[in-house]
Amino acid sequence: MFDNPLLDSVPAELLQGRVNTLDFVKGDVLAQPESPIERLIFPRSGLLSVVVELTDGAQIEAAMIGPGGALGGAAMFGAKRHVSTVVAQLSGRAWTLVLPNAFEVADRVPEFRAAILAQERYLLAQAQQTATCNAKHSTMERLCSWLLRARDEARRDELLMTQELLARMLGVQRASVSMLASQLQEKRLVQYRRGRLQIVDADGLAAHACECHKAVHTQRERLFSRSQAANEESSRGGAGRPSALSRPEN
């Protein structure tokens, strides 16, 4: 119903009147370092990038948030401010939930609380894997892995992205991305035209990617599977356990 599994874990009637809609377009900045966290954002479509900004203005991506995730979940565990810049890479729509409503929902629905925790851990896992990837793997491997991850998170084969954007997210020169994208197109793994990149052969692309795409995918499956298992255990007799979620003190 909500096109986001984190919200789909909550009974619709509990969210009625509590969620709002948000449209975002490519390039919109949805969070900046030290800006207050006032709401959770749950993408229904599109793609958000958590980026690290350098003093020279460069931005390098650390993690992605697609229709399976959320922005701002750290506030549910005491954080008051964002620590990174988050920018829209693909236009889309989202649901928003202001913090008081988010706390109320989490208190009433353990599945929601556990899913938000899993999402926060997943973002950390992405950042850790990205740091390793940037240090150890070739630009071709990183490009292929990034495209597959973007496909997974955005849930679509067509990505509206320029080569300049790809280069910026990978922290490399545009000429390098242009050359490698041409090679992938010659192998008929992707089609690229006027800012539209179509993944034609995901399996073939995976053969040229580093291990990081698979590692991130495995981490996501593991984290959210554990979240679901914890919820099932709680429903069988976990009532009365202290909440893992606490509101920040004023």
In this prediction the pTM is: 0.88
Contact 176, 167 (CB under 8 A): yes
Whole-angstrom distance, CA of residue 247 vs CA of residue 186: 54
pLDDT in tens, the chain (250 residues): 789 999 998 999 999 999 999 999 999 999 999 999 999 999 999 999 999 988 888 889 999 999 989 999 999 999 999 999 999 999 999 999 999 999 999 999 999 999 999 999 999 999 999 999 999 999 999 999 999 999 999 999 999 989 998 998 999 999 999 999 999 999 999 999 888 999 999 999 999 999 999 999 999 999 988 766 555 555 555 444 334 344 544 4
Two structure tokens written together for 54: 């350098």
